[in-house]
A and B are shown apart, each in its own frame.
Chain A
Amino acid sequence: MNAERAIVKTGSTTNCFNRAVLAATRRQALPIAVYPGLALTGAKVSDIVTNPVAQVEAQAALHERYRTSFVLSAMDLSAEAEAFGSAIRFSEGEVPTVTGRLVTDLAGVERLAVPQPGDKRTAVSLEAVRGLRGLSGRPLVLGGCIGPFSLAARLIGVSEAMELTVTEPELMHALLAKSAAFLGAYVRALRDAGADGAIMAEPAAGLLSPNALGAFSSAYIKPIGESVADGHFALILHNCAAKLPHLSAVLASGLRSFHFGAPMDLAAALTKLPSDVVLCGNLDPAGVFCQCSPEQIRVTAADLLAKTSSFSNFVISSGCDLPPGVKLENLDAFYDAVAVQSASPTAAKLN
């Protein structure tokens, strides 16, 4: 049991997000929800990903409805690849996605120019962050970006990237160096635009083995995290595919704030973390937020809250980005469950 509970070593600098969570007297909630705000503003998905004003409005509408402590820019994980030159498929009602492979070999990787933050649609997130700063109640503003392995995978093909980690690791490392160079600059640009932190989404890395995740993802995130660790800015690493065996490898990124998806056993993960490292997660966007009734969502959320009630470093969230189709009554049910738990006697443990 003792070995099971061995605490994993993590980085040392804390940040404003962790401080806010640890100081809170009630359970904090941070569903990754921007697109569901469309139900309130009437805009389209295509507006959110191209127009920072529409993006801020959708988030502001949700902030207004739920009085959230945090606001987010939209998760749009094709924007960075587009800045590198990838072809993108747009449609009115869907989040855009990368099509085809921009690079296929080392020569292509060597020719690849590293873009500037603000190129193509990365300008939308930077502008959205500036807009979110103006919201009433001064919520913490979290920008968003993709992670280095997932970006590299989108440039060279996701399935191909998986295989290349085994068959041509040097090619992947060359590509990762460029991916991470851009993302480092982009995260710093988000900070300069006024973000208090950023959620870096690294979904594809969770499909790797723990060792490969360490080598092809965490190793590249670590220097980015160090470059923005100023005691305030919070880089939150999101990995929606990682499972418990990946935990140490994810923590090797040296960050202090993590966000996991449904595959992670959160209650077990919490026992392995120092109490000042914050973990967020992990109600399944599809299986819970989209497909369950409000009543089922209340039960599922209450269950997760009960399992994690003794940990003040836990933030209840969706396991990943919530798609536009999530009904507001389902989000209402989620926030209801959080409010009910916060009002219950166990919530006292949070102090």
Chain B
Amino acid sequence: MPDLKLLHDAVLNGDAKVARTVTEEALAAGAEPVRLVQDYMMPAMAEVGRRFESGECFVPELLLSARAMKTALAILRPLLVTTGVPPVGRVIIGTVQGDLHDIGKNLVASVLEGGGFEVIDLGTDVSPEAFLAGVREKKPHIVALSALLTTTMPAMRTTIEALEEAGVRREIKVLVGGAPITQRFSDEIGADGYSDSATGAVRLAHDLLGV
């Protein structure tokens, strides 16, 4: 069995290659996939999020950690499914229509994955119709919307309205975030939660689902 601390450190230091090899070696040596995720990767990602928020690391480091975690998760996810370990919840995330900013959205997606959620990323410039189609197809517990432009903030409202009109709004929780978003705006458009950080998004997601 490889030293699993190496997996923790690979995510922390953003080293996707090491994350992959340690994950493969650990699996070959009989490690339980869920332990790798919960005991090593999730704490590492939580620490990266903390360091980012306190200004100890910056966007490049955070993106690399997210990539390392995704690389290991790609190997582990199919095994988690076959061994019957359910994700904490399913999230559909995307940047709203007209908006191409995705750095914050990607970080939120990664930290949610690190927090045990299954995340389906619809990308950027996602129309209300595309969110609705995603909800119908994937049956998520949460829809997370990101917007970085004042001009695209209204698209959050139209997305929520589209979900309401289609009669699916009550089945899901809607989270919103992005630099110009405020709690007030979130309340105004009838979202279920707002956070200004990726780690806050995970806490919120846990609270909303009561998990």
* Residues of A that sit less than 8 Å from B by CB: 93-94, 97, 99, 158-159, 162-163, 165-167, 207-209, 212, 243, 245, 285-287, 290-291, 323, 325
- Cα A25 to Cα B60 with chains together (Å): 43
Distance of B71 from chain A, by nearest CB (Å): 13
In order of increasing CB-CB distance, the 5 nearest A-B pairs are: A286-B180, A207-B59, A162-B60, A209-B58, A290-B150
Q: Does B210 contact A (CB under 8 A)?
A: no
Stretch at the interface among B3-11, B61-69, B156-164: B61-69
- Cα A45 to Cα B151 with chains together (Å): 13
Contacts of B182 in A (CB 8 A): 287, 291
Distance of A263 from chain B, by nearest CB (Å): 10
Q: By the criterion CB–CB under 8 Å, are A162 and B103 in contact?
A: yes
- Cα A56 to Cα B14 with chains together (Å): 47
Q: By the criterion CB–CB under 8 Å, are A209 and B180 in contact?
A: no
Distance of B151 from chain A, by nearest CB (Å): 6
Q: Which of B170-191 touch A at CB < 8 Å? A: 179-180, 182
Distance of A327 from chain B, by nearest CB (Å): 12
Q: Does B55 contact A (CB under 8 A)?
A: yes
Contacts of A167 in B (CB 8 A): 64
User: Given A162-B63, A287-B180, does the pair A209, B57 have CB atoms closer than 8 Å?
Assistant: yes
Q: Does B127 contact A (CB under 8 A)?
A: no
Q: By the criterion CB–CB under 8 Å, are A166 and B61 in contact?
A: yes
Q: A163-B67, A208-B59 are in contact. List 8 more A-B contacts (CB 8 A).
A: A94-B98, A99-B100, A159-B103, A162-B60, A166-B14, A207-B58, A209-B58, A245-B55
Q: Which of B30-83 touch A at CB < 8 Å? A: 55, 57-61, 63-64, 67
Contacts of A94 in B (CB 8 A): 98, 151
Distance of A37 from chain B, by nearest CB (Å): 17
Contacts of B64 in A (CB 8 A): 163, 166-167
Contacts of A323 in B (CB 8 A): 149-151
- Cα A167 to Cα B67 with chains together (Å): 12
Q: By the criterion CB–CB under 8 Å, are B61 and A209 in contact?
A: yes
Q: By the criterion CB–CB under 8 Å, are B150 and A163 in contact?
A: no
Q: Does B106 contact A (CB under 8 A)?
A: yes
Q: By the criterion CB–CB under 8 Å, are A159 and B180 in contact?
A: no
Provide 14 A-B residue pairs closer than 8 Å at the C-beta atoms, listed in order of the A residue. A99-B100, A159-B63, A162-B60, A162-B103, A163-B63, A163-B67, A207-B60, A209-B60, A212-B58, A243-B55, A291-B150, A323-B149, A323-B150, A325-B150
The 8 Å CB contact of B59, one of A93, A162, A245, A325, is A162
- Cα A208 to Cα B102 with chains together (Å): 16
- Cα A270 to Cα B154 with chains together (Å): 37
Contacts of A97 in B (CB 8 A): 100
Contacts of A166 in B (CB 8 A): 14, 60-61, 64
Distance of A325 from chain B, by nearest CB (Å): 6
- Cα A18 to Cα B64 with chains together (Å): 40
Contact with A along B115-134 (1 / 0, CB 8 A): 00000000000000000000
Contacts of B102 in A (CB 8 A): 159
B contact patch SS: loop
- Cα A99 to Cα B101 with chains together (Å): 11
- Cα A163 to Cα B103 with chains together (Å): 11
Distance of A210 from chain B, by nearest CB (Å): 8
Distance of B125 from chain A, by nearest CB (Å): 9
Contacts of B106 in A (CB 8 A): 159
User: Given A97-B100, A163-B67, A291-B150, does the pair A208, B180 have CB atoms closer than 8 Å?
Assistant: no
Q: Which residue of B lies closest to A290 (CB)?
A: B150
Distance of A291 from chain B, by nearest CB (Å): 7
Contacts of B100 in A (CB 8 A): 97, 99
Q: By the criterion CB–CB under 8 Å, are A286 and B55 in contact?
A: no
Contacts of B98 in A (CB 8 A): 94
Distance of B62 from chain A, by nearest CB (Å): 9
Contact with A along B127-148 (1 / 0, CB 8 A): 0000000000000000000000
Q: By the criterion CB–CB under 8 Å, are A208 and B150 in contact?
A: no
User: Given A159-B103, A166-B14, does the pair A286, B58 have CB atoms closer than 8 Å?
Assistant: no
Q: By the criterion CB–CB under 8 Å, are A212 and B150 in contact?
A: no
Q: By the criterion CB–CB under 8 Å, are A208 and B58 in contact?
A: yes
Contacts of A208 in B (CB 8 A): 58-60
Contacts of B55 in A (CB 8 A): 243, 245
User: Given A163-B63, A166-B14, A207-B103, does the pair A286, B150 have CB atoms closer than 8 Å?
Assistant: yes
The 8 Å CB contact of B180, one of A212, A243, A291, is A291
- Cα A116 to Cα B102 with chains together (Å): 31
Q: Which residue of B lies closest to A209 (CB)?
A: B58
- Cα A212 to Cα B98 with chains together (Å): 31
Query: Residue among A93, A159, A285 with the most chain B CB within 10 A?
Result: A159
Q: Which residue of B lies closest to A167 (CB)?
A: B64
Q: Which residue of A lies closest to B153 (CB)?
A: A286
Contacts of A207 in B (CB 8 A): 58-60, 103
User: Given A166-B14, A207-B103, does the pair A286, B60 have CB atoms closer than 8 Å?
Assistant: no
Distance of B124 from chain A, by nearest CB (Å): 10
Distance of B197 from chain A, by nearest CB (Å): 14
Query: Residue among B59, B106, B149 with the most chain A CB within 10 A?
Result: B59
Distance of A293 from chain B, by nearest CB (Å): 13
Contacts of B151 in A (CB 8 A): 93-94, 323, 325
